[in-house]
Amino acid sequence: MVTGSEGGWGPALPVHGSVVSTTARVGNPRRVVLGYALRVGVSSALVVDAVVHFRDAHLYDANKGSLLSQGALFRIQAVVALGLVLLVWVWASRTTWVAALLLTGSAVAAVVLYRYVDVGPLAGLPNMYEPSWGPPGKLLSAFAEGTGALLALGGLAWTLRAAEPRPSA
């Protein structure tokens, strides 16, 4: 047991960033395991997304808009995904889960939209219509993004549930 703020033996104080603080906040070791499982799942999905986008970016460099090329968008997506991997592990807060949900959700929405609808150029971005699942990594990336979005939503729910006040016994 950790000493209280007065120096006497009192309730354990959470140590920020440790399993002790996570257990103290959520009150159940199974919830801690769930939290780490969500982190592993979301970060794995983000890594797959980043690898596919980095690997395939050069294939889309010729598709230019007035602002960016599709290849540049792919590289930006990959860098942001890798940054979110670090955030998910270092600071798994509501903000981090929302960011992961927005990135993965918008990415899967975009790949599905541009697979089936010819939106055309939009706000300086190129026309990214590609009516096929055939390009290398496209289906894998879409699956990872969709899975990541669902897991990030779960992470957000887990964080919100952990923040709820517990009734005193």
- 102-128 tens-digit pLDDT: 999 999 999 999 999 999 999 999 999
Q: Please compute, for residue 122, the number of CA atoms within 13 A of its CA located in the half-sphere on the CB side.
A: 10
Whether the Cβ atoms of residue 149 and residue 105 lie closer than 8 Å to each other: yes
- 23-51 tens-digit pLDDT: 445 567 888 899 999 999 999 999 999 99
Q: What does pTM read for this prediction?
A: 0.80
State whether residue 16 is helix, strand or coil: coil
